[in-house]
Structure 1
């Protein structure tokens, strides 16, 4: 009987010294590693506050970042990776509030906690709205200030 689940040296050498390995799985393209601070896909480190979502299918894991970048990892046997991704992404979100801006739509205000306990806010405008519209940006900024005040952040 195995009393301790030791992390293989191959996995430990990939992660930053400040990261604690939660779980890992090996795929044909290398390891996928979930730590307390980031997700490692091959040679890429994605801090949890930069991960918007993870999607699973029969081919493996697809991760989309808050910047809209997409990463894919083949994982025939994902182990606990799906649960870790879901839990860590959810834990990074402090505020997630939708605010109507005008009759055309609104904006989702999302605050994420970084590794060093800072808050990063992002605006996620409805698809039919132009995020570059200065009037909408001003309304979104005003909504953000009201949201920050109401949450005491």
Structure 2
């Protein structure tokens, strides 16, 4: 019996990725537009409108989902959303889930004075280093409101004291 082997990433795509030293490809999938989505040890590489790739480090992926052939990615701190149609997803959805989950150090939801809440997330980059923190305010709250921001920062300071992060 012959085992099926995953198709190799084309050399031209690998060259266009310009991988950092020590960065390895973990999974890849062709897109409907003829490009590829590539999951590496440090980032998710998504096709860009200019024909190259946008690199989203794993700790910057707030949410990712796979539905009806589409990979949906939301970056942290109100960053852009990405929607890519994959023709043969292979192990990309599972790899994305595993890599994003691996960066999470702490998540905490807190109520804010006056109603509403904030989700505070601490994420560690895949290549190591300090924890990076982000705030996701509930719909209807202004993330630029200095009062809300100050409350969220105080909650974060309390969390850091309690956890030693």
Normalised-by-shorter TM-score class: 0.7 to 0.9
Aligned match for 2:38, one of 33, 36, 40: 33
Question: Across the two proteins, how many residue pairs are aligned to each other?
Answer: 153
Q: In the alignment, which residue of structure 2 is the partner of 1:12?
A: 14
What does residue 111 of structure 2 align with? 100
Higher strand share: 1
Equivalence for 2:157: 145
Q: Please name the residue that 1:109 is paired with.
A: 120
CA separation in 2, counterparts of 1:116 and 1:15? Answer: 20
Equivalent of 1:122, from 134, 156, 159?
134
Native 8 Å contact 1:15 1:40 kept in 2? no
Quick check: 1:132 aligned with 2:134? no
Residue from 59, 67, 74 that aligns with 1:57? 67
For residue 24 of structure 1, report the CA deviation from its aligned partner: 0.8
- The residue number in structure 2 matching 1:72 is 83
Structure 2 gap segments, 5+ residues each: 48-52
CA RMSD after TM alignment: 2.2
Structure 1 residues 12 and 116, CA gap change in structure 2 (3 angstroms): same
TM-score (norm 2): 0.81
Unaligned runs of 5+ in 1: none
Residues 131 and 73 of structure 1, relative CA distance in 2, 3 Å threshold: closer
Q: Distance in 2 between matches of 1:10 and 1:93?
A: 33
TM-score, normalisation: structure 1: 0.87
Report the secondary structure of 1:94's partner residue. strand
SS at match of 1:111: strand
Asked whether the equivalents of residues 29 and 87 of structure 2 are also in contact (C-alpha less than 8 Å), the reply is: no
Shift of residue 116 of structure 1? 4.2
Per-residue Cα deviation, 1:10-44 (whole angstroms, up to 9, x for no partner): 34322513311111111232111111100111221
